[in-house]
Structure 1
Amino acid sequence: MTTSAAVKSAGEHPVLAATRQLAPRVAARSEEIESARRLPADLANELAQAGLFRMVVPEAYGGLEMHPALVIEAVEILARADGSAGWCVMIGACTAMCSAWLPEPQARVIYGAPDVITGGVAAPLGRAELVEGGYRVSGRWAWASGSQNCRWLVGGAVVTKDGVPQMRGPVPEVRTLFFPIEDVTLHDTWHASGLCGTGSGDMEVKDVFVPAERSISLITERPRVARPLYAFPAFGLLGLGIPAVALGIARRAIDELTALANQKKLMTHGGQLLARRAAVQEAVAEAEATLRAARAFLLETVNTTFEAATRGEVTVKHRAELRLSYTHAMRSAARVVDRMYEAAGGTAVYRASPLQRCLRDIHVATQHAMVAPSTLEVIGSVLLGVDANTVML
C-alpha cells in the first residue's frame, strides 16, 4: 500500500519520504496528543520543518506547490499514525492555499518564514465593517483547529457598511481576513468526543483593523498566482485533505483489527483465533475493498480535475464529481471503521484500544460541512442537470 511506514525509493517526493519517517514518532506520541487536546508545539514545528504546511504554497513564495494527489497521500500517512495530527496538518496546509490569492507583498509577509503555520475558519461567522483602508472585524469562530501553533489565523466575515450587510446580487459579500495571532483570543472550548488532540477551540477577534490587502474572496476573486494548482476548484483545494484524514484513520482501523485478530483467542470458540472466524474474515475483506475503492475514486477525480485545471477547462461537473469523491471517501471510511470496531468485539471499547480512538475520530471528521450528507443534494442536482447553487463547490 502507498501508506507503508517504510521510506520508498529515492525518486519519491521529499515531503512524502519525510512524512513516512515522521509517522512512527507521531504515532508514539498519540496518547500525549490526545491528553493535551492539542498538537504539541515541538511536534508541530517538526512537521513544519518537513514542509507539510507549505505543500500548497506557491513555489514563487518558497512553497512546494505539490500536486493535489501528493498532498492527499502526505495527510493520509499522518492520519494513519494519528488522526489529530493528520487533521492539524490538513487544516494548516490547505489554509495556506490563500497565499495564492493574496497580493504578493502580503503573501510574502505572512508566508515568508519557512516554518510558518496558518489556520482558521472560513465560515462567515464574523462581521467586517468597511472603514478607510480596510475593515474593522469582530467575530467568534468555532473549530479553529491547530490554532495554538499558528502565527496567523483567518476568519470568514460578512462585509457591512454602517452595520448593514453589503450585497453582491442576492447574497451578502463575504471575505476571508488574516489576523496575526497577537490580535486573536483563543478559547479553550475543545472538549470533544473525537479528534481530541486537534485543539479545535474557538477563536475570537474584537474590533480588529485588517487592511484591505490582507483580505481575499475565494468566491469572487481569481488567484493572483497563475499556476495549475490554483486553477483547481478553490473549495476543492481548501477541502482536499479532509477525505485524506478519513482514509488514513480507516486504514489504521484495518491495521489494528488485523493485528488484534491474529492475537485474540476466543474462549467461547475453543481458543480459536479471532482471525479464524468467518464473520471477521468477511468484514476485513469488505473493508479492504470499500477503502481501496473509495481511495481510487478520490484519486481518479483529483487527477482528472487537475488535468482539466492545467488546460483551464474545469467545469461544474468536474467540481461536483470532485466533491462527490470527498464525501464518498468520508462516508466509506466511516463504514470501514464501524465494521472493524464491531468485528473486534468487547476488546475495542477499552481506552487502551486504538480502535475506539479510530471510531471517535472518524465520527467527528464526518461532521465537517465540506463532506456533510447535504453536499450530495447539490452534487446530485448537477449530475441530473437540475438547477442548483454550486458556488460552494
Structure 2
Amino acid sequence: MTSTTDVSGQVVSLARGMRELVAAEAGESERMRTLTSAIVDEMWSTGLMAALSPVAAGGVEPSFAEMIETWIEMAWQDGSFGWIGIANLPSRFAAATYLPDEGFAEVFDAHDNRVTMGGQFFPNGHGAATDGGYRLSGSWSFGSGTGHSQYIAAGFFPMDNGEMRWISEGVPDMQIAVVPRADITFNDGWHVQGLKGTGSYDYSAQDIFVPHWRTFPLFTREPRRGGSPATRMGLMPVTAAGHASWALGVSKSMLDDVAELAATKYRMSDMASLASRPTFQKGLAHHVAAWRAARLLVLDAFTTAEAAVADGDELTPAMRADMRAAAVYATDISRSCAQWAHLVAGTSSIREGSRLERAFRDMYTGTQHAFISEKVAIDAAQIWLGVIEDQFGL
C-alpha cells in the first residue's frame, strides 16, 4: 500500500500528529454525537483548525494538493474527524476570505482569530432586506460541525419587499449569513447511522437581524483576504476537494485495515489465511489500484485549475466541471473499495466499535451528500458535451 500521503507539508503533519488522540476519542465522539473537547482543543493547539484560512485569520493558505492530503489523512484516522475537516475548516476559510472588513473585525479580530464555524450553506432561509442588513428566518438540516461552533453559517435568499433578488437571468442571489451561536435554535436530530461524531445538528432562526457585513455571496470568487489561488476559485472547489478527499481517506483506512487483517484472518471451514487466497490478492490489487487512480485524478483536476488561476487565467466552466466530476468519481470508487473491504473482512467488519465497522457506516452516510450526487456528474457531462455553457452551481 502507498503511504497515507505523499506530500509532507506543514498542514498534513499537523493532522498526522493527532492520530493517537483521535483513535482514543473516536468512540466517545460517537457517544456524544459531536467531537470531544479534547479533539477540538488539540485542533486549536496545533493550528489545524485555522490552517486553511487566510494568513490574516491565522491560517497558512495551503495549496490544493496539501488540503487534499490533509483531508485524506484526517478521514483515514476517523470518518467523523475527517468530516469536521471538510466542514469546519472550509466554513472558516470562506468567512475569513469573503466577509467585508467590518464583519471580519467583529467575527475574527474581536476573538483573536479563535473562531470555529460550521453550518449549512444551502439557502434554506430567506432574509428580508432592511436597513443595514437582513431579517433572517429559516430552517437548516445537517449543519456539520455546529456541535462545537461559535458561529453558524446559514445560506439564504435575500428578499426585497417580498420578492426574490436575482443577479442574472435564472440565477437568484444566494448569500451566507454568519450568525452567533446564541441567535440560533438547535433542533438536535442528529441520530444517524454514521458520522455520529460530527455534531451535524438541525437548526433554525426566526426573524433575527444579521448586518450586511456578516454576509457574503455564496458563489463569490472575489477575496477580501488571502493570496492563494483557492481564494479566487470560490467555496465550491474547496468543498468538492473536501468531499473527494474524505471518501478517499475513509476507504483507504478500510483497505489498510483489511490488508493488515489478512495475514491472520481465517474464514470458517477454510484452512488458508485470507492473505494467501488468490481471489483476495486479485481483489486487493484491483481496489488499491482503483483507489490510487482516483486519488491521482482528484489531484490532477484540482491542481490543474489551481495552476491556471495562479497564472491569471479565468476559472472556466470546463475546469469546474472537471473538479466536480473528479469528486464524484473518487466518491464512487471509494464506496466500491469500502464495500469490498467490508465483505472480505467477514465478521471482523461487523464488530461494533471497530474501525472497520465505523468506517463502513461513515462511508454510506457521507456518500449520501447531494454535493457528490448523480446530478453533479450529469451537469459536468453536459458542459463537456456542449449541451449547456455553464451550470452556476458547479
What TM-score do the two structures reach when normalised by structure 2?
0.93
1:198-230: CA deviations, max 9, x gaps?
A: 111102111110001111113356222363221
- 1:257 — aligned with what? 258
1:125 aligns with 2:124: yes
1:159 partner letter:
P
CA distance 1:12–1:292, change in 2 (3 Å)? closer
Structure 1 residues 260 and 30: alpha-carbon distance in aligned structure 2, compared to 1, 3 A threshold: same
Change (3 A) 1:45 1:353: closer
Render the CA deviation track for 1:95-153: whole Å, top value 9, x for unaligned.
12222111123223323334321111111100101111100001110011111211111
Of 223-232 and 369-378, deviating more is 223-232
Q: Distance in 2 between matches of 1:219 and 1:146?
A: 21
Displaced runs of 4+ in structure 1, greater than 4 A? none
**How much does 1:187 deviate?**
1.8
Compare 201-210 and 212-221 and name the one that shifted more: 212-221
Counterpart Cα distance in 1 of 2:161 and 2:248: 46
Other-structure match for 1:297: 297
String of CA shifts for 1:266-324, please: whole Å, max 9, x gaps. Answer: 34122x21111222112211110011100011011111111011122121111110111
Q: Is contact 1:257–1:344 with CA below 8 Å preserved after alignment?
A: yes
Greater Cα shift, 34-43 or 301-310: 34-43
1:321 alignment counterpart = 322
| Cα contact 2:50–2:57 (8 A) shared by 1 | no
| Residue 146 (structure 1) aligns with | 145
- Offset at residue 183 of structure 1 (A): 0.7
Distance 2:54 2:267 in 1: 55
Question: Contact 1:48 / 1:117 at 8 angstroms: preserved in 2?
Answer: no
User: Equivalent residue for 1:222?
Assistant: 222
* Structure-to-structure mapping, 1:39-50, within 5 angstroms: 39-50=35-46
User: Structure 1 residue 134 and structure 2 residue 133: aligned?
Assistant: yes
In structure 1, the residue matched to 2:100 is 103
Select between 219-228 and 174-183 the one with higher mean Cα deviation: 219-228
Q: What is the rounded CA distance, in whole Å, between the counterparts of 1:179 and 1:233 in structure 2? A: 21
Q: 1:321-371 deviations in whole A, cap 9, x for unaligned?
A: 011111111111100000111111233222143222222111111111111
Deviation of 1:56 (Å): 2.6
Match status 1:34 vs 2:33: no
Give the drift of 1:248: 0.8
1:166 corresponds to 2:162: no
| 1:266 match: secondary structure | coil
Question: Given that residues 37 and 197 in structure 1 are in contact (C-alpha distance below 8 angstroms), is that contact kept between their aligned partners in structure 2?
Answer: yes
Deviations 1:69-117 (CA, angstroms, capped at 9, x unpaired): 1111112111111100110121011112222111123223323334321
Aligned residue type for 1:108 = A
Task: Tell me, yes or no, if structure 1 residue 231 matches structure 2 residue 232.
Answer: yes
Deviation at 1:234, TM superposition (A): 3.4
How far apart, CA to CA, are the structure 2 residues paired with 1:109 and 1:62? 15
Identity %: 29
1:60 corresponds to: 56
Change (3 A) 1:283 1:96: same
SS of equivalent to 1:142:
strand
SS in 2 for 1:219: coil
**AA in 1 matched with 2:251:** A
C-alpha change, 1:135 and 1:345, in structure 2 (3 Å) is same
Structure 2: tracts of 5 or more residues without a match: none
Aligned residue in 2 for 1:196: 196
Inter-partner Cα distance in structure 1 for 2:210 and 2:195: 31
SS in 1 for 2:143: coil
Q: 1:300 and 1:209, CA in 2 relative to 1: closer, same or farther beyond 3 A?
A: same
* Amino acid of the structure 1 residue aligned with 2:35: L
